[in-house]
Structure 1
Amino acid sequence: MAARSLQKAINVFPSSVDLLFQNQTARAKTAFLNLCVTNLCTSNSRLSAEDGSNHKLKHSYFHAHSPYPLSGLTIGGALEKTTEKFPDRECLVFCDTGIRRTFSQFMEEVDQLAAGFIKLGLKKGDRVGIWGPSTLEWVLTQFATGRLGIILVNINPAYQVREVEYALRKVGCKGLVSSLHFKTQNYYEMLCQIAPEIERSPPGQLKSTSLPDLTTIIMMGESQQPGTYRFDDVIKIGGPAEVAEVHDRNSELQFDEAINVQFTSGTTGHPKGATLTHHNIINNAIHIGERLGFDRDHDRILCQVPLYHCFGMVAGVLCMAVHGAANVFPVAGYDPVATVKALEAERCTTIFGTPTMFIDVTTQAELMKPNLPCLTKGVMAGSPCPVEVIVKADEVLGTKIQVAYGSTETSPVVNLMFRDDPHDKRTTTVGRTLSNTECKIVDDQGNIVPIGAPGELLSRGYCVMLKYWGDKEKTKSAIDQNGWYHSGDLAVMDEEGYTRVVGRIKDLIIRGGENIYPTEIEDFLHTHPMIDDVQVIGLPDPRMGEEVAAWIRLREGESITVDEIKEFCKGKISHFKIPKYIKFVEEYPLTITRKVQKFKMKESFAKELGLID
C-alpha cells in the first residue's frame, strides 16, 4: 500500500513536488515523499470523514480535504512542465481549419508570440484584451500573455460596440488581439466606431479620446487593416534575444499575481471584471482534472464551450496545460452537427457543454448515429442541469455526466461530481466541494444552517478571485472579511455534503449558459423615447434553460409593436440579451413600498404563455 501511495503522490501532482524541491537534493525530495506516505494511511480516515463517508453532517458546512499541496506554478510554468513530459503528444485540434499542434510545437509558438509582444513594448501588468471565437490564436494569446505576466482580458465575441468600449475602458487595456470578424459582426469596423483615430494612426501608436489607454491593436487574419498589426507578423518579429527574455520574465512571475480578467454581470447593469491569479486558475484546473481522471488518463476533450468563458478557458485548455489532456474544437463558434462529427472522428473521451448544448448534441446524435466507443465522460455546467437532460445524454452518448457548479469569481468550479456518485445524487445535485475548498450555507444573519435547510451558498479557498477590477465596494460586498465569497445562490446541503442549488437570490437570468442581468437590459430599453418603464425577467425554457422577457409600459399616447422593440435592440445589445417575450402593460405588481414583485410577474406570464401549468 505504501508503494502505491508513494506512486500516487508522485503522479497526481508531480509539478508541485518538483517545484517544492527544485533547489534541493534528490535525497530531500525522497525523504519528503516517504513522509507523505507515512502520513497518508492515517490521513485516509480523515479523508473519509471529510468526504462524508464515515459520518453524517449536522450543519451545512463541508471542507474537501486533500493530502496534496496546492501548486505554486504559474500558467507559463505549468505549460513548460507538461511540454517537457509529453513533447510529442497532441494537445490542440481545430477541426474546421485542420490545425493540429503537439505540446512542443505549441510551446514554441507561444514563446514566439510572447517574444513578439516584448518587441511591441508590452510588459508585465499591462492589460491585453482578446476578442474573438475559439481559435489557435486565442489559445496562443492566453499562454503568451501568461508567460510574461500580461493580464489577459476576455471579451465576449457577441459584445456590441458600447459593451466592448465599456470593457476596454474599465480595465484600461493597452493592447487588443482581435478577430477580424465573426458571424455577422465586423470587429474592425466596430472598433473604428469607438475610436475613429485607428484608421489614421500608425500601428502601435493609437491615441484615442474614447479609449485613452489603448495603443496597440493586433488583428487575426490575412489582410492588413489600417492602424493595426497582423497577428501572423507579430508572432515572427521576435528574435532569439526576445525569446530568451520570455524565459527570464516568466521565471520572475509570482503565482499570486493577477493574470486574467473575466467579465460577469453586475447589479448596476454593467459587467464586473473578476480578476483571477495564476494560483486561482491553475489549481482549479488541477482539481477539476483530478476529479475527472485527467491526471490518470490521456483524455481528449471535445471543447464546444467558448474560450472567453471560464468553463472553456480553465476546464478546457488549462487542464491541457496541467494534465496533458488534448482539446478538440469542432468549429470556432458552436455547431452541434460539427460536434457530433468531431466526437467520432477525433475519438474524444470527454465532452464539455451547457445543458442547452447537450440537448442539441443528443438530438443530432440520435439522427446521425455516430460510433463513439471512446466517449465515457461528460461535464455539464453553466446553468441549471435538468435531470432529464443528464439522463438523455448518458443514454445517447454513452457518458456518465458529471455536473459542475461555480462562478467566474471562483475560478470557476467549486463543486463537481465524482464519476461513481450514486445515480440520484449525480442527477439531482451539484456534487461535493472540490479539494482544498470550503463551502457553507448560511441564513440571512450569516449563521450556518442545519442540514436540509435552504440558505445562501458561500465558498472559501484558493479559488476565490482577487477582486473586481476597479470596484472596491463591489469586491467587499462579494467577499466578506473572512474570505468567503457570497454566491447569491440558494442551496441545500445533505448529511453527506452533496449540494442542491434550489434558486437564485439575485435575479440573474441564465440563458444557454450566458449570464444575463435584467438591469443591463432595462437600462438600455429605457433609452427608447417611447418607453416609460420596463422590467425584465427570466422565463423557463426547455432548451435554453431560461429566456429573456420584458414587461414594458409606454409613455402616454405612444404606440409601438413587439417587432419594432426587437429591431431597436439589434446591433446595440448582444443577441442573447434581446427579449424573446414582450408584454405591454399599464402597471406592475407592487409591494406596499412600491417595489416591483418580479416573482409574481414571472409566474403569471409563464402561465399566460403556457410555459408552466
Structure 2
Amino acid sequence: MIAEDDQWRFTTIPALCARAARVYGDRLAVEDAGMTLSFVELDAMRRRMAKAMMAAGVEKGDRVMIWAPNGWRWFVTALGLVSAGAVLVPASTRFKGGEIADLVKRSGTSLLFSVGDFLDRYYPDQLKPDTRARLREVVVFEGPRGGDRDWEAFLAAGDEISDADQAAREATVGPDDLCDMLFTSGTTGYPKGVMYAHRQCLRGIDGWATRVGIREHDRVLVIPPFFHAFGYRCGAIVSMMRGAVLIPHLTYDAEEILRRVQDSGITVIPGPPAVFHGMLQHPGLAAFDTRTLRLGVTGGASVPDVLVRRMREDLGFEGVVSGYGLTECGGFGTMCDASDPDAVIARTAGRAMPDTQVRIMGADGAFVPDGEPGEVVIRGYSVMKGYFEDPVATRETIDADGWLHTGDIGVLDANGNLRIEDRLKDMYITGGFNCYPAEIERILSGHPAIGVVSVIGVPDERLGEVGRAFVILRPGKTASEEEIIAWARANMANFKCPRAVEIRTSLPMSAQGKVQKQRLREELAGRVGVAV
C-alpha cells in the first residue's frame, strides 16, 4: 500500500497524476506501439490536454465522450478532461451510429473524441447529422477526414492557456465531483449512466490493487477495453497509481497476446476468463516463452478449478486471483487475495473490499444465513452516486438503507467468501428445480475435452425449461455431443444436465470478453423448430 503521507489517495485523479510524476519521475509509465511516456511526461501531457479542453470551451461538469479502442491517446485524453473538471463518458467501439446518437443525446455530451480508421471503416462516418449537430466538434486521434479535427491540432490549441489558468481550473475539481459516467449494458432496457466520483474511484482502485498485489515495475498488458470499468480503472489508472508500466492492447487475439508476453516481458494480465481460455486453447502455446508472467487477474464469469490450475501450470502464472463487481459499484465488489488457496480462487469471488459490506438478501428483503442463496447486495463508499437523470431507476437499484441490489444470485461461506450462482435473469427452472448456468458451466469445464462452455435455458413442453450447452473443445481433443451429455449425467444432478450440446469453433463474445448469451438465444430463435 502507498505511503500514508500522500494525500492524493482519496482526493482526485489529477492529484494522483501529479503525485505519480513526483514519486516515479522519469521511469516508464506508458508503452504503446513504439510510443513511450515517463510519469513526468504523462503528467505534462494530461496538463496540456486539460488546457486544450479549456481552449475548446469545455466547462466543469461538461460530458466528453471517447469512442476508440485502447491506446495512449485515449488515456491522455481521459486524464486531461477530468483535470479540466469534465466528466468522461466512454463509448464502446462496438456501438454503431444509432447507439452513439442515443448515448450523446442522453448523456448531454458536448465533445466527442473518436478513432479514425478502425476495423475497416472510418468511425466518424457512422455519426448521424443530428448527432454532429449536438456536438461542439469531433476530434479524431489519427487520420481525420472532412471537417473532423486532428487530435494533435486540438492539443496544440491549448498552448494559449496559461499554466496558472490551468492550475486554477484543476483546483476547482473536488473529491466528490464526478469523474466519469459509464453506461450499463442495457440488458433490461435503455443503458443507464452510472455516475462515479473521484474519491470513490481512487479509493476502490487502491483497495483493489492492495488486495491483488499490483507492484512497482510490473508490466501490465491491458486487454479489457478502456471503455469498461475493469480496463480503465484496474488496468490504466492502477498502473499509474502503483508505478507500473501500462501497455494497452488494441484487439483480442490469443497468438498476438502470447507474442507480446514473450517479446515485452509482460508480468500482469487482467481480463475475463475468455482471455486465458483463448491463450490456453492456442495450438502453438508451447512455442511461446511465458516465464515473465506473475499475476493473472480474472472474474466477471465462471472461473472453473481447471482454469486456475492450467493458468499456473501451462501459462506459468505465479499468482491467480478472481473477483466480482459491477459498474454500479465501480467494478469493486469482492476480490480474492493472491495468497488464497486455489479452491477459494476458483470457486469463489473472494471477500468484500475494505470498508464495504456484501450480504445475501432473500426475496422477502431479509438477510439469509451463510450457505443459502439469494440476491447479492452491496453497501459502502463504492456504491455509485446514482443513474444520470434517472431517480426512479436509482431508487429501484439502491434501497432506503443504502444497499445496492445487484440482480446476481450468490452464496456467502463462513469466511465471507462470495460464490456467484448466476444472474437472476439467467436462472431457468427445470421441472421445478432452479438451474444456475454458471454452476453448470463450472462442472462441465471439468470435462477433459472441453475448453470453453456456455449454457442457456430454452423452453421445453414437459419440463418448462431445459439447458442447452455450447462448447468449444480443447485443441487436439475430441468428444461427441452424446459423450458430453453422458459425462454430465455422471457428474451432476439430472435436472442440471443439458438436454442438448452444440460443439462450436467460436462463440459470440462481448468487447469485455464475455459470451453474449442473448445472441445465442437470438440465433436459436432464428432456426426452424428451435424455440427460445
Counterparts of 1:301 and 1:146, CA distance in 2: 23
SS class of match (1:221): coil
Kindly provide the amino acid, as one letter, of the partner of residue 220 in structure 1.
F
Counterparts of 2:245 and 2:283, CA distance in 1: 22
Kindly provide the amino acid, as one letter, of the partner of residue 253 in structure 1.
V
The Cα of 1:238 is off from its aligned counterpart by 1.7
Aligned 8 A contact 1:366 1:396 in 2: no
Q: Does 1:449 align with 2:368?
A: yes
Which of 331, 343, 352 is the aligned partner of 1:424? 343
Alpha-carbon spacing, 1:291–1:270, altered in 2? closer, same or farther (3 Å): same
Counterparts of 1:82 and 1:241, CA distance in 2: 24
Q: Does 1:438 align with 2:427?
A: no
Partner of 2:165: 245
Alpha-carbon spacing, 1:540–1:340, altered in 2? closer, same or farther (3 Å): same
Q: Does 1:257 align with 2:195?
A: no
Partner of 1:18: 6
Counterparts of 1:244 and 1:121, CA distance in 2: 17
Counterparts of 1:229 and 1:244, CA distance in 2: 26
Counterparts of 2:58 and 2:263, CA distance in 1: 40
Counterparts of 1:333 and 1:459, CA distance in 2: 33
Partner of 1:77: 15
Aligned 8 A contact 2:216 2:243 in 1: no
Counterparts of 2:185 and 2:235, CA distance in 1: 22
Counterparts of 1:311 and 1:92, CA distance in 2: 18
SS class of match (1:435): coil
Q: Residue deviations 1:8-29, cap 9 Å, x none?
A: xxxx232x53329xxxxxxxxx
Q: Residue deviations 1:301-348, cap 9 Å, x none?
A: 111111111110000111022211211124x22222121111122212
Q: Which runs of 5+ in 2 are unaligned?
A: 428-436, 442-455, 457-465, 474-514
Counterparts of 2:323 and 2:372, CA distance in 1: 21
Tell which has more relative contact order, 1 or 2 (C-alpha 8 A, sep 6+): 1
Which of 501, 523, 531 is the aligned partner of 1:581? 523
Aligned-residue CA RMSD in angstroms?
Answer: 2.7
Aligned 8 A contact 2:356 2:382 in 1: yes
The Cα of 1:374 is off from its aligned counterpart by 2.5
Q: Residue deviations 1:397-434, cap 9 Å, x none?
A: 11121001100111112111111112211111101111
SS class of match (1:17): coil
Partner of 1:290: 210
Alpha-carbon spacing, 1:352–1:543, altered in 2? closer, same or farther (3 Å): farther
Alpha-carbon spacing, 1:239–1:538, altered in 2? closer, same or farther (3 Å): farther
Partner of 2:41: 105
SS class of match (2:258): helix
Q: Does 1:348 align with 2:266?
A: yes
The Cα of 1:221 is off from its aligned counterpart by 0.9
Partner of 1:166: 102
Which residues in structure 2 correspond to 1:600-611 (within 5 Å)?
none
Partner of 2:89: 153
User: How many residues are aligned here?
Assistant: 455
Which residues in structure 2 correspond to 1:228-243 (within 5 Å)?
228-239=148-159, 241-243=161-163
Q: Residue deviations 1:160-218, cap 9 Å, x none?
A: 12111111111010000001132134312101xx11xxxxxxxxxxxx4x566422211
Which residues in structure 2 correspond to 1:186-197 (within 5 Å)?
186-191=122-127, 194-195=128-129
Which of 177, 186, 201 is the aligned partner of 1:266? 186
SS class of match (2:196): strand
Aligned 8 A contact 2:13 2:202 in 1: yes
SS class of match (1:491): strand
Aligned 8 A contact 1:340 1:365 in 2: no
Counterparts of 2:154 and 2:337, CA distance in 1: 43
Counterparts of 2:119 and 2:346, CA distance in 1: 35
Partner of 2:115: 179
The Cα of 1:251 is off from its aligned counterpart by 1.8
SS class of match (1:397): coil
The Cα of 1:268 is off from its aligned counterpart by 4.4
Alpha-carbon spacing, 1:540–1:246, altered in 2? closer, same or farther (3 Å): farther
Counterparts of 1:17 and 1:483, CA distance in 2: 31
Counterparts of 2:72 and 2:469, CA distance in 1: 36
The Cα of 1:578 is off from its aligned counterpart by 4.6
The Cα of 1:538 is off from its aligned counterpart by 9.8
Q: Residue deviations 1:532-586, cap 9 Å, x none?
A: xxxxx99644469xxxxxxxxxxxxxxxxxxxxxxxxxxxxxx966547323589
Partner of 1:89: 27
Counterparts of 2:235 and 2:120, CA distance in 1: 26
Kindly provide the amino acid, as one letter, of the partner of residue 91 in structure 1.
A
Which of 321, 325, 330 is the aligned partner of 1:406? 325
Counterparts of 2:187 and 2:263, CA distance in 1: 44
Partner of 1:275: 195
Using the size of structure 1 for normalisation, the TM-score is 0.70
Which of 120, 125, 136 is the aligned partner of 1:215? 136
Q: Residue deviations 1:259-301, cap 9 Å, x none?
A: 111111235422111111112221111111111222x543111
The Cα of 1:82 is off from its aligned counterpart by 1.1
Partner of 2:382: 463
Counterparts of 2:185 and 2:160, CA distance in 1: 43
The Cα of 1:227 is off from its aligned counterpart by 2.9
Identity percentage of aligned residues: 26
Using the size of structure 2 for normalisation, the TM-score is 0.80
Aligned 8 A contact 1:155 1:308 in 2: yes
Kindly provide the amino acid, as one letter, of the partner of residue 172 in structure 2.
E
Alpha-carbon spacing, 1:170–1:17, altered in 2? closer, same or farther (3 Å): same
Counterparts of 2:376 and 2:469, CA distance in 1: 23
SS class of match (1:327): strand
Q: Which runs of 5+ in 1 are unaligned?
A: 1-11, 21-70, 196-207, 512-517, 519-536, 545-574, 589-600, 603-613
Kindly provide the amino acid, as one letter, of the partner of residue 153 in structure 2.
D
Alpha-carbon spacing, 1:441–1:178, altered in 2? closer, same or farther (3 Å): same
The Cα of 1:364 is off from its aligned counterpart by 3.1
